[in-house]
């Protein structure tokens, strides 16, 4: 059974960079799409972007200027960097795996990690 686990700081100061890593266990990161999705407290879900194991990426246009997603196949990990954060970036951040060859439908999710942007 594939498992995903997010890790990273739970508190980030405004204007700084949010950095999270997702570690995949129970399966290989190869041959799948991997996504970051976030959910502000009490609100709905927002897609941040995805990366294919080969390194190709696609980002939500609303965040594209601030987002970088990267992959490290040797460690079975992929990562998210979001620059110049504000309070509006406070959210639970999920990493997820694409179903089969589909980048946009996610069958396995991490438990999520709350990131708060505050000084």
**Can you give the binding site for other proteins, defined by CB under 8 A?**
44-47, 58, 60-62, 94, 96, 99, 102-107, 109-112
Task: Report how far apart, in Å, the C-alpha atoms of 115 and of each of 22, 63, 92, 94 are.
Answer: 14, 16, 6, 11
14 vs 26, beta carbon nearer other proteins: 26
- Which of 31/111 has CB closer to other proteins? 111
- d(Cα 9, Cα 16) in Å, to the nearest integer? 12
Specify the residue, 58 or 83, whose C-beta has the smaller distance to other proteins.
Answer: 58
CB 63 → other proteins: shortest distance, Å?
A: 9
- What's the closest the beta carbon of residue 94 comes to other proteins, in angstroms? 6
């Amino acid at each position: 059974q594939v498992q995903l686990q997010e890790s990273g700081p739970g508190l980030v100061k405004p204007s700084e960079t949010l950095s999270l890593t997702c570690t995949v266990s129970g399966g290989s990161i190869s041959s799948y799409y991997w996504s970051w999705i976030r959910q502000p407290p009490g609100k709905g879900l927002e897609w941040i972007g995805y990366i294919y194991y080969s390194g190709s990426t696609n980002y939500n246009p609303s965040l594209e200027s601030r987002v970088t997603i990267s992959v490290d196949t040797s460690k079975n990990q992929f990562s998210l960097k979001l620059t110049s954060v504000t309070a509006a970036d406070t959210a639970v951040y999920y990493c997820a795996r694409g179903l089969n060859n589909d980048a946009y439908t996610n069958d396995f999710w991490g438990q999520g990690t709350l990131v708060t942007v505050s000084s």
